[in-house]
Copies of this chain bind each other. A is one copy, B any other.
Amino acid sequence: MLRPTRQSNRDNSAALASKPIKTGPRVYEEIRRMAMDYRFKPNERINEVALAARLNVSRSPIREALQRLVTEELITFQTNRGFFCRGFDVDEVVNLSDVRAVLEERSVRLAIQRATHEELAALVDWWTLTMARADSFSSAELTARDEEFHIRIARLSGNPELVRMLEGINTRIHFVRKIEVEKHRRLSTTYTEHSEIAQAMVARDADRAARLMHDHIDISVADAMSTVREGLARIYIDVDQI
């Protein structure tokens, strides 16, 4: 019997996924998303053939994507044993927050040095607008806005490496951050901190802005523990994944 041509295969997957993106990048993005959201259980072994079947591709693009995610610390790898989901523990969250605080402080200071008044004013306006619409956003959307706020500042720093590293951290703490956002929401805590930071930046008050930023990011170990605890519950309770 003739093996099916490749083209027909392609059409199949396209019909199912309904995404016109080249499979390579698509697969990477998809797995990345799964890892970010802990769709794999912590430390769970990832079966390549199963994943390949799920995404309608062969193992090659899967493995390439996974390897890439390994250096992003979203996935773990052991020779001859395969790929595993990263763990999920408090220490990591705390350590990343510490690094993040330092990097974001630097971002703020550089941005104050280098950004124009218009750019900083635009930041304030954008966040004000975002806050006004906050209620209409889903938690996911709000989390994205939160991340964007920080990344915008990093961009204004003029140092792409700063942006890159913070983005790396963001993808790793995305899950806990989303939980934090929802916590805030439940408590009706408003995001005034972001506004204060942005305003201090417009006023070119570097020390104040840096301090605000630091306090904003710095989380107590207790808070981190409680958030991680909720995260674990969520990971192991939500079984609504096919």
> Which A residues are closer than 8 A to B by beta carbons?
22, 24-25, 60, 63-65, 67-68, 70-73, 79-80, 92, 95-96, 98-99, 102-103, 105-106, 110, 159-162, 164-165
Contacts and interface: CB of A to CB of B under 8 A. Distances in A.
B95 A102 contact: no
A203 to B, nearest CB: 23
Contacts of A60: 60, 63
A177 to B, nearest CB: 16
A65 B102 CA distance: 31
A96 B161 contact: yes
Given A22-B79, A71-B68, A71-B72, A106 B98 contact: yes
Given A67-B68, A96-B161, 5 more contacts: A68-B71, A95-B162, A98-B110, A99-B106, A99-B162
A95 B160 contact: yes
A159 B99 contact: yes
